[in-house]
Amino acid sequence: MRNVLYKINSWGLGHATRNLPVIRRLIDGNYHVTLASTGRALELLRTELGDRCQYLDVPDYYTKWGRDYHWIFLMPKAPVEIWRLLRAIDAERQRINQIIILGNYDLIVSDTCYGAWNSEVPSYLICHALKLPWFWQDRYTQRFNEWLASLFINRFDLILVPDYEGSPLSGCLSKDFRFIDGKKVKYIGILSAFKKLDTEQDIDYFISISGAEPQRSSFEKKVLEQVRELEGKVVIALGKPEGGEGGFERWGHVRVVNYMKSPERDRVMNSAKMVISRPGYSTLMDLIELGKDKVLFVPTPNHPEQEYLARYHAESGNIYSVSQKRLNLARDVKRARQYPGLIHRDFSTCRSVNRLMEIIFGG
């Protein structure tokens, strides 16, 4: 049995959920998997996988940029925040090295954790944003961000991008490299924890509340204030696995739940006529997996990646988006219905996991 250390970024729940199919394949293949994460992401992994894995609470990165300030007021903090990020990555690397020594691991898989590598152990990075997005996207800023990211990304043996050649989902974030070693980049396809089901679409709106605090709670508050204006059946998932799977009814046609495990989550997403969520990259892959085309995106304020993905897919004519501050559910769902959604190709998580296993293990 081979020992695998699997480090997962804790910003939101998307990084944790998209890795579930890979982790389950490893477990089924008789690999001993130790999962390292923290916060709600670690709680979700425990809830989904139970005693099939071992777990380590290992912090990753923290930022104060999640507040409702205009980005121009955050610029004076940029040098300090970058310095804090670099220190956090170095602390993560030292912690990973200690874990490797104590656990005798044969392999490291990291999802967007830049310090989770070791020079003596094969290390693989799963990441879609190889060029760290910023509040503006001029070419000089893009090149600087790519250079900064390359200092860490190039240390991994291979970079596995959950997208396809041409980067139709991630746009400029995962192509046209100058500083990143393109020979190490392998496109594996989408990764989603959802399964396509043949079920009746009897839910008019599924609203997924997610993201780092305090913006997750701000989004929740705004949605609960406006949701009664929507007509039809509504299901809201709060993205709080620590609260269990309990929920409550509100205004008769609205059901609110703390968290949904796989079977219930699959049923609700497949049954939804429209999805309202953050434009997280994992969400984009979920929509492709399920073939969902009626979507409204509400990016997390001061989250450059989500803001870029929302703008990229809106300008591409795929999905309508609105800022959290300007969100008006009754108005914006009507506008969102006018967009065709993502182009559905022959994408599937099963094929992507097969490709990942082939790249790492040769089959």
pLDDT at residue number 342: 84
Same domain, 228 and 258: yes
Domain count across the chain: 2
Residue 342 inside a domain? The answer is: no
Same domain, 179 and 250: no
Same domain, 282 and 208: yes
- Please tell me the distance from the alpha carbon of residue 22 to that of residue 40, in angstroms, as a whole number: 19
Same domain, 125 and 235: no
Q: What is the pLDDT along the chain (363 residues), one digit of tens a residue?
A: 589 999 999 987 889 999 999 999 999 999 999 999 999 899 999 999 999 999 999 988 765 544 454 555 555 666 777 788 888 899 999 999 999 998 889 999 999 999 999 999 999 999 998 887 654 556 677 788 889 889 999 999 999 999 998 888 998 889 888 899 999 999 999 999 998 999 999 999 999 998 778 889 999 999 999 999 999 999 999 988 766 556 666 667 999 998 887 788 899 999 999 999 999 999 999 999 999 999 999 999 888 889 999 999 999 999 999 999 999 999 999 999 999 998 666 678 999 999 999 999 875
Give CA 122 to chain center in angstroms.
Answer: 24
Amino acid in the structure at residue 14: G
Same domain, 180 and 211: no
Residue 112 inside a domain? The answer is: yes
The closest of 191, 220, 163, 213 to 353, measured between CA atoms, is 191
Instruction: Lay out the sheet containing 295-297: strands in order across.
Output: 247-250, 254-257, 234-237, 203-208, 272-277, 295-297, 320-321
Tokens 């219930």 belong to 264
Question: Residue 298 to residues 88, 244, 336: CA-CA distances in angstroms?
Answer: 29, 25, 11
Residue 198 inside a domain? The answer is: no
CATH number of the structural domain spanning residue 214: 3.40.50.2000
Same domain, 10 and 139: yes
Same domain, 63 and 188: yes
Q: How many CB atoms lie within 10 A of CB 8?
A: 27
Residue 39 inside a domain? The answer is: yes
- Please tell me the distance from the alpha carbon of residue 311 to that of residue 303, in angstroms, as a whole number: 12
Same domain, 168 and 261: no
Report which DSSP code applies to 118. B
pTM of the model: 0.87
Q: Domain residues for 208?
A: 203-336
Same domain, 255 and 152: no
- Please tell me the distance from the alpha carbon of residue 305 to that of residue 102, in angstroms, as a whole number: 36
Same domain, 122 and 150: yes
